[in-house]
Amino acid sequence: MAADPILSLRNVEVHFPVRTGVLKRVTAHVRAVDGVDLDVYRGEVLGLVGESGCGKTTLGKAILQLVRATQGTVTYSGEDGETELTTQDDAGLFAFRKRLQIVFQDPHSSLNPAFTIFGSLEDPLRHYGVKTRAERRKIVGDLLEAVNMRREAMDRYPHEFSGGQRQRIGIARALSIDPELIVCDEAVSALDVSIQAQVLQLLMDLKREKNLTYVFITHDLSVTEYLCDRIAVMYLGKVVELCDAEELYSNTLHPYTQALLSAIPVADLDRKSQRIVLQGDVPSPINPPSGCPFHPRCRFAQDICRTDVPRLRAYKAGSGVHMAACHLIDQPLAD
Amino acid sequence: MVDAPITRPRTRRDGQFDRLRDRETSMQGKAKRRGRFLGKFLSNRLALVGFVIFTIICLMSLFAPLIAQHNPMSPNLRAIAQPPSVEHWFGTDKTGRDIFARVLYGGRVSILVGLGSALLSALIGVIIGVYSGYVGGWLDWIAMRVSEIFMSFPQIILVLLLVAILGQSLLNLIVIFTLTGWGGIYRMARARMLSIREEEYVQALRSFGLGPARIAYKHMLPNALGPIMVNITLSTAAFILQEAGLSFLGLGVPLSIPTWGNILNAAQDLRVLEQNWWIWLPVGATISLFVLSVNFIGDGLRDATDPSQQG
């Protein structure tokens, strides 16, 4: 894959203020995303995995500028050069909204219950200059067919559809203005497994047809294995491991990722997998632990982990680079 | 998918299904939707009954001069506190005025004040609440403080002030009710918007770069309409009764002009309450009927706008 970044994130931080007391003073910050460096290459599927509350969704929203980063830059590179999205105002963002879109997690709240499908989907089209109603109806109809639904569905209301159908309508909506990159925020997590496969297949077909780039946010590692070219593992607002998907599954470096992978159920009775059970909860992002954010739950934690924050360092891997943030990787991990 | 060839003889049902399918594929979106809205409203029995009662009361008040045989304001000392008769359908009050005529004429003022103030305050409350609730920030803060000021201000002082400056009039009453009444609906609209704001379809619209006014009024407001409708009907009733109270104190409409509230106030006398039931019962029933009909209409409108309830 040619290293042609469509998006570059540099040291992105999203901190939400915590206000307490009568005067609503800011007493602390929730460090939802805490210094993320990441490149998304054109045409790839980048998986973003981690447990609940690790900041994956916030990072996805920060990419789309739905949540503004408090620090750092998000740079979009297109044919017309590089643009820093984080410093643009709403008017400046207008041109880029067209290229970045999002598919949401919850199919039950992602469509407006008061409007027909056409009513929900036509307004963005009008906003981007499709003037006549007949044209908009044609486009919406084509979109619905592109996600394997009947054209007539556009005159129905969201409650008349099943979860999988709604999710496909959500995908159709994201596609409606021909974006280049789509952030799929847990796009299949709320669906049952057979529908998941169907929607994933649809996403892959659309990617091939329209030459899309996906940032695929999920907590389901079996989905990423099937789908992603590269995977970034997040923990407490930081990326702890980043490499090609195959590399991640075959040569896991970070102890957190090892624990995650060991939790994937395997349908093989004879295989005795060593399940690594993490103790305790994810630490609070308001008051993250000193040093490595993972050290309170890490099997290998040593003194250095409690004091120094590990940087994301590159390691040589079979075909490319393997990034991981752990002090102990240079030394062989004891097991 | 190809339809399987029908091997049995065609029945009436087949014809029906074909017509249904034709209608679906011909895709008449907008026209169908308007028909659906009206159809749903009319198929709601209660709403229809409410609408009929509402229309009858309004029309009777409007055409009061044609219906009533007596002047509602001229006393008749030879017919004081008479029970209902052929001459006086609802009887007469303590100064001998025909109550039927007074109820008819009273409806003009009461409906105007009650419904007018309710709609006007809803309009203001919704316009401010929907936008500030969605946008938030300093605008929301200011709107909230302003509404608190208006809601905490004693209504009676406002009335006194306005009457002192502008004199006693119907319009003043509407202005005052609107000023003191918009806060409740504003808060309700704002609270609804705060919860709808987090829905993912709103996020999706934002990711398309649609403007806040467009998102708030066009896409979110229809989902907040239910409780607002209920609130309008409730405040209509409240305003009709408040008008009565203020008029009684000589701050609203002059006492000689009949309003439903004026008539009802006569029943504050215990003797009237015990002995002259016809003075308070008809007008009380009329107020109840009117408020109830507005209520039913509000419910019907809400259900008709909610697509998830099949009509």
Q: How does DSSP assign A280-323, residue by residue? A: SPPPPTTSPPSSSTTGGG-TT--HHHHHSPPP-EEEE-SSSEEE
Which member of B32, B209, B218 has the closest CB to residue A97?
A: B209
Work out the minimum CA distance from A324 to partner chain B, whole angstroms. Answer: 32
In a domain, B230, yes or no: yes
B93-107, B208-222, B260-274, B293-307: range with highest mean pLDDT: B208-222
Closest CA to A62 of A82, A44, A76, A80: A76
Q: Which residues of B touch A (CB under 8 A)?
A: 24-25, 27, 29, 32-33, 199-201, 203-210, 214, 218-219, 222-223, 305-308
- Domain range holding B162? 58-69+92-305
The average confidence (pLDDT) of chain A is 85
Whether B185 shows a pLDDT value over 80: the answer reads yes
Which pLDDT belongs to residue A315? 80
Residues A280-302 have pLDDT tens digits of 777 888 888 888 888 888 888 88
Q: Can you tell me the distance from the alpha carbon of B240 to that of B237, in angstroms, rounded to the nearest whole number?
A: 5
Q: Is B40 contained in some domain?
A: no
How large a percentage of chain B has pLDDT more than 70? 92
- How far is Cα B115 from Cα B120, in angstroms, rounded to an integer? 8
Q: How far is A152 from A156, CA to CA, in rounded Å? A: 8
pLDDT tens string A86-125: 888 888 888 888 888 999 888 888 899 888 899 999 999 9
Nearest CA in chain A to B195: A109
Structure confidence at residue A1 as a pLDDT band (50, 70, 90): very low
Q: Which residues of B touch A159 (CB under 8 A)?
A: 307-308
Chain A residues within 8 A of B33 when measuring between CB atoms: 116
CB A39 within 8 A of CB A9: yes
**Residue A27 corresponds to which tokens in the numbers above?**
């007493």
Q: Does residue B1 belong to any structural domain of this protein?
A: no
Is A109's CB within 8 Å of B308's CB?
Answer: no
- Residues in B closer than 8 angstroms to A117, CB to CB, are none
List the single residue in B207, B218, B306 with the smallest CB-CB distance to A66: B207
Does residue B289 lie in a domain region?
Answer: yes
Q: Identify which of B154, B140, B134, B183 has the alpha carbon closest to the alpha carbon of residue B251.
A: B154
DSSP A212: -
The pair of three-digit structure tokens given for residue B274, joined into one six-digit string: 């015990």
Inter-chain CB proximity B210 and A124 less than 8 Å = yes
Helices B99-135 and B277-305: angle between axes, nearest 10 degrees: 30
Interface test with A, best of B33, B193, B200, B310 (most A CBs within 10 A): B200
What confidence tens digit (pLDDT) does each residue in B41-62 have?
A: 777 888 899 999 999 999 999 9
Burial bucket for residue A276 (CB in 10 Å: 0-12, 13-18, 19+)? middle
Predicted local confidence at residue B1, as pLDDT: 45
Residues of A in contact with B206 (CB under 8 A): 66
When divided into structural domains, chain B yields a total of 1
- Does the interface ipTM go beyond 0.90? no
In order of their start, the domains of chain A are: 5-99+179-324 (3.40.50.300)
Question: CA A83: distance to chain centroid?
Answer: 21
Span A70-94, pLDDT tens digits: 888 898 888 777 888 888 888 888 8
Rounded alpha-carbon distances, angstroms, from residue A128 to A88, A132, B197, B208, B213: 19, 12, 23, 9, 17
Across the interface, whether the CB atoms of B203 and A137 are under 8 A apart is answered no
Give the whole-number percent of chain A exceeding pLDDT 90: 18
Q: Indicate if the alpha-carbon torsion angle A170, A171, A175, A181 is positive or negative.
A: positive
**A334 pLDDT above the threshold of 60:** no
Q: Mutation target for B interface from A109, A111, A136: give the one with most B CBs within 10 A.
A: A109
pLDDT tens for B194-251 read 999 888 899 899 888 888 999 999 999 988 888 888 888 888 878 887 887 787 677 7
Selecting from A64, A109, A111 the residue whose C-beta is nearest the C-beta of B207 gives A64
To the nearest whole Å, the CA of B26 is away from the closest chain A CA by 9
Q: What is the CATH number of the domain that holds B211?
A: 1.10.3720.10
Q: Is residue B139 part of a domain?
A: yes
Is residue B75 assigned to a domain?
A: no
Our CA-based measurement puts residue B203 at a distance from the nearest CA of chain A, in whole angstroms, of: 7
B5 pLDDT band, cuts 50/70/90, is low
Question: Average pLDDT for residues A13-40, to the nearest whole number?
Answer: 84
Choose the most confident range, by mean pLDDT, from A16-25, B39-48, B104-113, B264-273: B104-113
Which range (A252-256, A326-330, B223-227, B247-251) has the least confidence?
B247-251
B305 neighbourhood in chain A, CB within 8 Å: 114
